[in-house]
Amino acid sequence: MIATTPVRTWELDRTPDLVDVVGAARDAGHEVLLVERPMPDAVSVAALGRAFDIVAAENGVALEDANGKVVDFERGNERLLAAARLWRRLSASLSTRSAGPIAIGGFAYRPDRDPAGPWSGFPALLLRVPALALMRSRGRTFVTAATADADDLLDLEPRSVSTRAARALTISPIRNPVSWTAAVESAAARLRAGEAEKVVLAREVMAHGDGVVTAANVARSLRSAYPSCFIYLITGGDGTAFVGASPELLVRRSGARAYAQPMAGSVARGATEADDERLARQLEASAKDGAEHRLVSAFVVDAFKPFAEKVSAHPPEVVRFTNIQHLATAVTAELREPAADSLELAAALHPTPAVGGWPRAAADAIIDGLEAMDRGWYAGAVGWIDAHGDGEFAVALRCGLLWEDGARLYAGVGVMPDSDAARELEETELKFKALLTALT
């Protein structure tokens, strides 16, 4: 029997800044998670402290209490599906007539593998029921407490920091760019030989600051610079923090309807509106980008079909962000009853060909052979799920793994048989800028 405190939910009469809230809680030594989307109708969630963790374990996923004691376990090689089953049991046991819990977290690109090296503070999957969760939707903020003393976390004040914030960065690639472009050329040759249709290759760079790099400040800067992106901050068990600004929705489920917005195919922003339009038309006319995008959008439509009465996809469009433009397709699924929850849908969709390639097994084999790094949570997903199964997961892109005075930054590109390695290297540099500007 799981020992629980009845879950309580109430509405705040104020609208706190969620980045300030998690920053103050982290300063006070609490574990924090944040998934925020500043768009007017979007849902944002902040998590402070811990009541329960659903976490990757050998042969499945474990449910741990606030002290790290395993109180339940779900076997299964498919960890996302095992987590979905465990979440249904836990949320049912915690829910009351008037309130239900929420779990926030995410998972690695390879949920079946335990991250290593710099990612040692992150399990392959983590969904946390926090001591206190704040959910903001349509200008209203609701609080859910899962422990008796969770209310105290609302009164935390940011710590006065005397250490100097980083003002300059030293950037160094983990892998020589010449070696990485050679890997892209090798991948393209293997695609031409028929091993796969597409593969995504990523690279990482190291950024060292001349002072402290604060995760909350980075998240705040990203929110300001990329107002239409998902901003996320997940603290690791080793003091690191995973922070990013993702443009891409993996899946959103609301009742009997699910949504996805796969993106593949990219081009820079222009200096003027006319330049933007010219580059956008260039992107739409690109045979390489068009083929890459059709592969991804078709995959998402097919992945939804086993769960849906009807799936519809809009024609692809060019969506603009601060420093980049992407081809994107909006996909909607009318779910059949009983509706799959957001975690089950994420399991069906992840990883899309936008972050892995296609066919999946062949692409992963090429990644394992050529990428020469541990992706960890990069190109995984971050998000939340509630007691009804509604929720939202974003693809973990435009991101970095932060420590006190620096970060490892990650960016990837879709490689096709006709890819130009030099152009792909330039695209990664464009994507790195999202984090580089925010670190100082």
On the CB side of 241, CA atoms within 13 Å amount to: 27
CB 248 within 8 A of CB 263: yes
How buried is residue 440: exposed, middle or buried, by Cβ count under 10 Å (0-12/13-18/19+)? middle
User: What does the alpha-carbon distance between residue 383 and residue 428 come to, in Å, rounded to a whole number?
Assistant: 24
Taking the alpha carbons at both ends of the chain, their separation in whole angstroms is: 48
User: What does the alpha-carbon distance between residue 339 and residue 388 come to, in Å, rounded to a whole number?
Assistant: 10
CB 226 within 8 A of CB 321: yes
Q: Which of 36, 248, 344, 392 is catalytic?
A: 248
The yes-or-no answer on residue 310 being catalytic is no
User: What does the alpha-carbon distance between residue 83 and residue 71 come to, in Å, rounded to a whole number?
Assistant: 14
User: What does the alpha-carbon distance between residue 324 and residue 322 come to, in Å, rounded to a whole number?
Assistant: 6
CB 214 within 8 A of CB 165: yes
On the CB side of 75, CA atoms within 13 Å amount to: 0
Provide the phi-psi class of 154: left if phi over 0, else alpha when psi is between -120 and 50, else beta.
Answer: alpha
CB 257 within 8 A of CB 335: yes
The yes-or-no answer on residue 248 being catalytic is yes
User: What does the alpha-carbon distance between residue 199 and residue 202 come to, in Å, rounded to a whole number?
Assistant: 10
Q: Which of 36, 64, 198, 431 is catalytic?
A: 198
User: What does the alpha-carbon distance between residue 420 and residue 21 come to, in Å, rounded to a whole number?
Assistant: 44
Residues 387, 389, 392, 395, CA torsion sign = positive
Which residues are catalytic, by number?
198, 248
